[in-house]
Amino acid sequence: MRKVIGVLLFLIHGTVFSQTRPNIVLFLVDDMGWQDCSVPFWKELTPLNKIYHTPNMERLAAEGMKFTNAYATPVCTPTRSSLMSGMNAAHHGITNWTSPKKNNSTDDTDAEMQPALWKLNGLSPQPGIEKTTYANTFPSILKKAGYFTIHVGKAHWASMGTPGADPKNMGFIVNIAGHAGGHPQSYLGEDNYGNMPGKAQPQAVPDLEAYFGTDTFLTEALTKEALNALDAPIQNKQPFFISMAHYAVHTPIMLDKRFVQKYFDAGMDSTEAKYAALVEGMDKSLGDLMNYLKQKKVDQNTIIIFMSDNGGLSLSPLRGGAAHTQNLPLKAGKGSVYEGGIREPMIVKWPGVIKPKTIANQYIIAEDFFPTILEMAKVTHYSTVQTIDGKSFLPILKNDKYTDTSRILIWHYPNKWQSKDGPGINYFSAIRKGAWKMIYSMRTGKKELYNLAEDIGEQKDLSSAYPQKVNSLSILLSNQLRKWDAPMPFLKSTNKKVPMPDELH
C-alpha cells in the first residue's frame, strides 16, 4: 500500500512538475541555410531538399511545428547576441561578428565608407566593459529560477578578455567548448580540433582533450559531451536548459568520413559533398539527443527548438566564388539582408502543447526567443537592464494559424564583410511588415521594395510602382533606428553619418 501511495505521489508530483517546468533544448546550428536539409520549408520540395539527408529534422518536424518565416540576422554574433539579450541587432549594436581578439574590428576597409561605431567587443553580462553592450541574459534568469543551464559548442558572443566570452558568465552552470572563437580551427580529433602543440590558435576548440588523437568528428564529440552533461539534472529531477550550439556547418568544410561517401557517389563535387556530410552529422546529433531524451523518459516534458544563426554561405558567382551552398528559391546568402541571408530553418517540438506536423507561416525573429523561452519555463517575474524587443511566439505554438501582419521586423548591417560585395551584403538595412519588405542601401541611398507573398526570391523591385509603401516603410524603419540609436556608417566624402532612409526622397 505504501508503495502504491508512493507511486501515486510520484505520478502526481511528476505531472505537476511536467506542467510547471519543462526542460528546454535550444539546438542552434551555425550558418545553415533555409534549404540545406531534406525538410521542405518552402511550399514545395526544392532540388536542394533532395540533395540533403536530415531524417531527424524530418522526425522533429513530424512531431512538432515548422516555421516557414523564421528570421535571424545576416551573420553570427548579432544573432547570438539577440538570442541572449532579447534585443534587435540595431538596438544592441553588435552588428557584425566579434573577433576573438579584443578591440579588433572585423570590418573591412572601404573606399567610400567609414565603419559604424558598433559594439565590436560584443555582449557583456557586466556594465562598464568597453565597446560592449551590457545586458541580462535569459539563461542567467533561468538559472536564478532553478534551471540547470548548460552550454555546449560555439558561443561567439564576445571577444577574449571580456566577461561575455565565457559562457559561465552568461548564465550557464556548465560550459563545454564555448569561447570567443567563431568557428573551429579543425573538426577533426586527429588535429586535436586545432590545439596542435606549440601552435596556439584562437579558433582551436577548448575542452575536448578526451577526444584528441581519436577519429571523433567535432559534432560527435560535442554531442557525447552534451548527453553526459544532461545526466546530472535528469537524475536530480532538476529542469534543464541546454544550448546545444554546434560549430557545424560553418567553414572550414572538412570531411566527415561517416557520411560523405553517398554524396561522392551522387556525383557532387568535393566541397558540396563534404558540406552535405557536415549537415548530416549535425542531423545525427539531433537524433542522438532525441533518442537520449526518450530513453531517459523525459522526452514528453522536453521542448526542442531547432534554429540556425544566419543564412547559408553563398558567394556571388560574379566573384568566381565556389559556392558550397546556395539558398534557392531565396536570393543571396550569409551576410545579406535578402532572404537567403536571414531566413532560417526552424522547428519546435513541445509534446502536449504543439500539435504535431503543423506549419506556422507567421514571421518571427531571433530576439523573440528570449521572452518565449522564459514564458515556456513559466518565469514571469523578471527584470532586465535592457528593454526587450522580442515578442513571445507562444501564441503561435498554441495556434499555427496565428497571424499578425502589423508587426515590423528590422535588419541592420552597417558593416563590411571582408571584400565580398554580393547582393545585399555590405551596408544595408531592411524592414518587413506583412508581406512587404523594403531594403535600404546605406552606400547608395537606393530603396527596393518586394512583396514576399508573391516574390520570395526578391526578383521584382516594386519601389516605383508603390512609392507610398516605400515612404511609409522608410519612416517606420528610420524611426526605429533612431529610437535604438542604431550604429550608422559614415560617408568618407562628407565625414557624416549616412542619412536615415526617410531623409532621402
- Which stretches of the chain bind Ca ion, using CB under 5 A? 30-31, 76, 309-310
Q: Which is nearer to Ca ion, 125 or 341 (CB)?
A: 341
Helix axes 218-235, 270-295, angle to 10 degrees: 10
**Alpha carbon of 95 to those of 40, 77, 88, 177, 432: distances in Å?**
30, 8, 10, 24, 18
The answer to whether the CB of 36 falls within 8 A of the CB of 51 is no
> Locate cell 516574390: which residue?
455
Q: Provide the minimum distance between the beta carbon of 206 and Ca ion in the complex, in angstroms, as a whole number.
A: 19
Q: Provide the minimum distance between the beta carbon of 473 and Ca ion in the complex, in angstroms, as a whole number.
A: 27
Q: Which is nearer to Ca ion, 23 or 186 (CB)?
A: 186
Q: Which is nearer to Ca ion, 310 or 426 (CB)?
A: 310
* Closest listed residue to residue 139, CA positions, set 172, 179, 177: 172
Q: Which is nearer to Ca ion, 31 or 63 (CB)?
A: 31
User: Which residue in the shown chain puts its C-beta closest to Ca ion?
Assistant: 76
Q: Provide the minimum distance between the beta carbon of 4 and Ca ion in the complex, in angstroms, as a whole number.
A: 53
Residue 270 CA from chain centroid, whole number: 27
Q: Which is nearer to Ca ion, 309 or 368 (CB)?
A: 309
- CA–CA distance, 14 with 240 (Å, rounded to integer): 15
Q: Provide the minimum distance between the beta carbon of 31 and Ca ion in the complex, in angstroms, as a whole number.
A: 4
Backbone angles phi, psi at 201, to 5 degrees: -120, 130
Expressed in percent and rounded to 5, the helix, strand and coil fractions of the chain are 35, 20, 50
Q: Provide the minimum distance between the beta carbon of 289 and Ca ion in the complex, in angstroms, as a whole number.
A: 20
Q: Which is nearer to Ca ion, 31 or 191 (CB)?
A: 31
Neighbours of 252 (CB within 10 A): 14
- CA–CA distance, 426 with 417 (Å, rounded to integer): 6
Q: Provide the minimum distance between the beta carbon of 158 and Ca ion in the complex, in angstroms, as a whole number.
A: 15
Q: Provide the minimum distance between the beta carbon of 74 and Ca ion in the complex, in angstroms, as a whole number.
A: 9
Distance in angstroms between the alpha carbons of the first and the last residue of the chain? 81
HSE of 93, CA atoms in CB hemisphere, 13 A: 22
- CA–CA distance, 225 with 189 (Å, rounded to integer): 14
User: Using alpha carbons only, how large is the chain's radius of gyration in Å?
Assistant: 22
Q: Which is nearer to Ca ion, 76 or 222 (CB)?
A: 76
